[in-house]
Amino acid sequence: MAVERQSSALPPAQPSYILRGHASQIHNVQFVRQNTRLLTGDADGWVVFWKVETKRALAVWKAHDGAILGTAEWGNEKIITHGRDNSLRIWQLRPADESALPTVLPAENAADQQSKPWLLHTLPVNTLNFCAFSMCFERPPETNRLSGITPDAVLPLTSDDSILVAVPARDDKKMEVYRFPDEKLRFVVPRVQPTDTGMAMAVRLVHHAGSNNILVLAGFEGGLTTIHRLPQNKSSGLELAQLVYLSKPHTQPILSLDVSPDARFYFTSSADATIAAHRIPELTSDVENKGFSSTDEQNGNAPFFPTPGEEASTSAGTEPFPSQENLPSKHPLNLSAQDDPPPGAELSTTPANPLEFGKQPISSAKISAAPPAGLSSLLSSAPPLPRMKPTPAILPNTTIQPPFKTSDTKHSGQQSLRVRSDGRLLVTGGWDSRIRIYSAKTLKEVAVLKWHKEGVYAVDFGAVLGDGDVRGGGQEVCRKETGLGKLQRQREEQMQRKHWVVAGAKDGKVSLWEVF
């Protein structure tokens, strides 16, 4: 009994630090550069770049004319911001640039026209549905296929490597994936038919190490979540993603989602009280996944057609054409009753133009035998090609599947969700001003952090770093350093190793918590 009384008498947890400086509600928080820096963005479009060791601002600028929806780091020299002013911007912010930028905070009446980091790219995007962007490197990081952990000996991806950026499309039920630095639209994630998903509310790009695919995870207004696979062929044209998973774990709009470090599971939170875990399907190497042309899209699900190099595979038993019963009524290969040939007619197995898929009316005059002439007379004596029955193509699976696991938290409005880099914990920020930490394995609540008086809109974990990962934020340590410099470096490395949780709330304050 004494132990129970002592545990119940413990005071509630308190944040380690409070960062004040924003004059409006916080919409985004993110640790960057190996926990040495912190990015925060508010509803007025201001971005503050904090140094975690000193808890002071290193750079402050107004990145957008509307609220900040999301941020990301592109290597160690570029920062990406996404605002409600219908723009996504990429800034150059090198470690050497930090000392040249203003540090006057928005709460101190910072001027809108003060100097900013160098603007490298601006992309007009749709932000009517409050859906933040997602970024991943086009080249996957070298990982251990068994553990999913990046070896220490592998050089990290840098600002010179190309990236993919997923944003909501102009049709807010679709998404678009751009490639930078060439600012080229590469993929379109089509609508899910016949299900009405509503607007896209959350998106995440992730590398699936087991199959070497890039997946687009999405959450929608109707409580549905999807996984699409991006084509791997080297086509330079616009391509359509392929649906591989569809689930409806929520009754309210999905507000946030995040993926486990090994890309085997991902988690969704919603305006309802449910947190759901989803198992990412086992995908093989994308040998057969050829991209669809945007002109082939029919109601959001384009059929699969072979490339010319794959047509020869039919003789080995691989028939690439879809069966007629699986095709929609208006599909170019679906012949209606009015197009049926008369009884006894035979159709040639070799089309005149193998790349022409439009509907071709068949008349009895064309079917009637005609005496061969010219080149046809030479070919008429050749043996006929073998006739093979086509099999269905790999079409998207639109069957709604149950999630892997769900948990009723009894607390509606889980605004933000993040998974820790070790995959053990996930954290949510709620409309009830609480920060809740859950076990990623069981989805059971393990801690509740309360300090903010108003709703928490953004949360993030600091990366769990080992001794080999702590390198002073990517900066080389000089062999000869003064006593003060050595002390400062040791303090910074100590801050990097801590297990941080950061939260931003409607009250304009940012809280830093040290957890287990």
Q: What would the pLDDT profile of 330-363 be if each residue is shown by its tens digit?
A: 443 343 334 444 444 443 444 444 444 444 554 4
Spans of all domains in the chain: 18-124, 130-140+160-282+399-408
CA 511 centroid distance within chain: 26
Find out whether 302 and 188 touch, Cβ atoms under 8 Å.
no
Architecture per CATH, domain 130-140+160-282+399-408, reads as 7 Propeller (2.130)
For residue 395, what pLDDT is reported?
47
| Angstrom distance (rounded) from CA 294 to CA 314 | 25
**The pair of three-digit structure tokens given for residue 431, joined into one six-digit string:** 């409309």
Share of the chain above pLDDT 70, in %: 71
**The pair of three-digit structure tokens given for residue 360, joined into one six-digit string:** 């071709």
Question: How many beta carbons lie within 10 A of that of residue 300, not counting itself?
Answer: 21
Question: How many beta carbons lie within 10 A of that of residue 473, not counting itself?
Answer: 19
Q: What angle do CA 92, 98, 103 make, to 5 degrees?
A: 115
More confident site: 253 or 111: 253
For residue 324, what pLDDT is reported?
40
For residue 436, what pLDDT is reported?
97
Share of the chain above pLDDT 90, in %: 60
Say which residues have a Cβ less than 8 Å from residue 165's Cβ, sequence separation at least 6. Answer: 80, 88, 123, 133, 134, 135, 177, 178, 179, 180, 205
CA 235 centroid distance within chain: 21
Find out whether 432 and 411 touch, Cβ atoms under 8 Å.
yes
Class of the domain covering 18-124? mainly beta
| Angstrom distance (rounded) from CA 258 to CA 70 | 14
**Tell me: the pLDDT tens digits for 139-193?**
887 644 434 444 444 456 888 899 999 999 999 899 999 999 999 999 999 999 8
* 18-124 and 130-140+160-282+399-408 have identical folds: yes
pTM: 0.76
Of the listed ranges 113-117, 234-238, 319-323, 503-507, the least confidently predicted one is 319-323
For residue 233, what pLDDT is reported?
78
Distances (CA, A) of 34 to 24, 37, 73, 161: 27, 8, 11, 18
pLDDT band at 381 (very low <50, low <70, confident <90, very high): low
Phi, psi angles (nearest 5°) of residue 292: -95, 145
